[in-house]
Amino acid sequence: MPSLPAPEPITELEVLALRSGVKGSRGLWRGEQVYVKTLVSDDPDRIAMFHHEGEVAARVSQPPSGHPLVTPLLRHTHDQLIFPFLPGGTLRDLARCGPMGAEAATEVTWGVLQAVAFLHARGVTHHDLKPENVLLVSGEARMDAVRLVDFGMSHATDLQLDIHSGTRMGTPHFMAPEQFQGVRGDPRSDLYSVGVLLFDCLAGHPPYEDALGWLVGISENRAELPGPPELHPVMQAAIQRDLNARPQSALEMLHALCVARRALHLPELTG
């Protein structure tokens, strides 16, 4: 890994979170409101994970390869990751208000899939798609309000070392079964998570109450598919245990979502 620049001066700092050796703060950098992740741990594993996130985020941020629905990394220093500050909250914040209607849920899912298709085309599998990692600008459930964040668990095909190789890292309610078994870098794992996100938006909860039981294969008890029947095939296909039974690409899943929205007489989405 190349040497990194010295920390940048950040003014008007307001600490928002402290988790796993990383402090999250809002502040002012070069006249811009930013969200800063600051490494405050000297644990070698935490240090490696922090800079791994920076390396992956840089790969999907640099012009002209960035995407409007992926939060860009502005600066990676010795102990900082600096991102634009995006007011509005997360999909989790919105979900606390209760289940979403089909139009809003599919708009958000469409935005997530657009961002995921971009990542996959660049050899990046996110591996931690969950409501907390989907920002919604201004808190609105719109396709163009979606911003993906947090590449701490991501896999990038062009990185020489995958520091998470063989691990079971992820969020049980949203991670794919093969990911729990240590499989890394398969884009279809992200599509499973997107299917769970759609389920969660419509139902107000993920499909498997006993998530660990489902992941290890000792429980198959799944909640009823939520929302209108036109959306059931999209979710049913995405959350299959068998990778080959899922959509094989984000574009394939986008097409299925488009067909479902059309059947529901919802406006066409583009982008």
Mean pLDDT computed over 227-252? 97
pLDDT at residue 200, rounded to an integer: 97
Report the C-alpha gap between 225 and 222 in whole angstroms: 8
What is the per-residue pLDDT for 167?
63
Q: Which of 55-59, 91-95, 159-163, 213-217 has the lowest mean pLDDT?
A: 159-163
Rounded to whole angstroms, the Cα distance separating 74 from 81 reads: 8
Q: Could you tell me which residue, 232 or 212, shows the higher pLDDT?
A: 232
Show the CA angle centred on residue 187, arms to residues 145 and 198, nearest 5°: 45
* Burial class for 24, CB neighbours closer than 10 Å (0-12, 13-18, 19+): middle
pLDDT of residue 3: 84
pLDDT at residue 159, as a whole number? 79
Per-residue pLDDT at 115: 97
Higher pLDDT, 102 or 158: 102
Which amino acid is residue 251, in one-letter code?
L
Residue 210: per-residue pLDDT: 92
Whether residue 144 contacts residue 115, with contact meaning beta carbons closer than 8 Å, is answered with no
Q: What is the predicted pLDDT for the residue at 62?
A: 74
| In the predicted structure, residue 1 carries a pLDDT above the cut 60 | no
pLDDT above 60: residue 86: yes
pLDDT over 60 (residue 55): yes
What is the per-residue pLDDT across 158-196, written as a single tens digit (0 to 9) for each? 876 666 555 666 789 999 999 999 898 999 999 999 999
User: Model confidence at 80, in pLDDT bands (50, 70, 90)?
Assistant: very high
> Which residues have a catalytic role annotated?
128
Helices (H), the chain: 44-59, 91-95, 102-121, 177-180, 187-203, 211-216, 232-238, 250-263
